[in-house]
Structure 1
Amino acid sequence: MATRTASCSCGQLQIEVAAEPNGVGICHCLACQRRTGSVFAPVAGFPLPYTVSGRSTVYVRTGDAGCGFVYHFCPVCGTTVFHTEDDVDDEVFVAVGAFADPAFPPPQISVYDCRRHPWVQLPSGTVAFERDPE
Structure 2
Amino acid sequence: MSSRTASCFCGQLRIEVQGEPLGVGVCHCLACQQRTGSVFAALASYAAPYTVTGKATEFVRTGDHGAQFRFRFCPICGSTVFHTEEGVEGRVSVAVGAFADPTFPPPEDSVYEHRRHAWVRLPENVTRYGTDPS
- TM, length-normalised to structure 1: 0.99
Q: How does 1:1-134 map onto structure 2 within 5 Å?
A: 1-134=1-134
Distance apart, 1:87 and its partner CA? 3.3
Residues paired across the two proteins, number: 134
Query: Which runs of no fewer than 5 residues in structure 2 stay unpaired?
Result: none
**Structure 2 CA distance for aligned equivalents of residues 13 and 21 of structure 1:** 20
Query: Which runs of no fewer than 5 residues in structure 1 stay unpaired?
Result: none
How much is the aligned-residue C-alpha RMSD, in angstroms? 0.6
Shift >3 Å, 4+ stretches: none
The residue type equivalent to 1:101 in the other structure is D
The residue type equivalent to 2:118 in the other structure is P
**Structure 2 CA distance for aligned equivalents of residues 28 and 88 of structure 1:** 22
- TM, length-normalised to structure 2: 0.99
SS at match of 2:31: helix
Residue by residue over 1:15-71, the C-alpha shift from the partner in whole angstroms, topping out at 9 and shown as x without a partner, is 000111000000000000000000000000000010000000000000000000000
**Structure 2 CA distance for aligned equivalents of residues 66 and 100 of structure 1:** 31
Residue by residue over 1:73-104, the C-alpha shift from the partner in whole angstroms, topping out at 9 and shown as x without a partner, is 00000000000001321210000000000000
SS at match of 1:88: coil
Q: 1:66 to 1:30 in 2, by over 3 A?
A: same
**Structure 1 CA distance for aligned equivalents of residues 95 and 13 of structure 2:** 13
Give the share of equivalent positions with the same residue, in percent.
Answer: 63
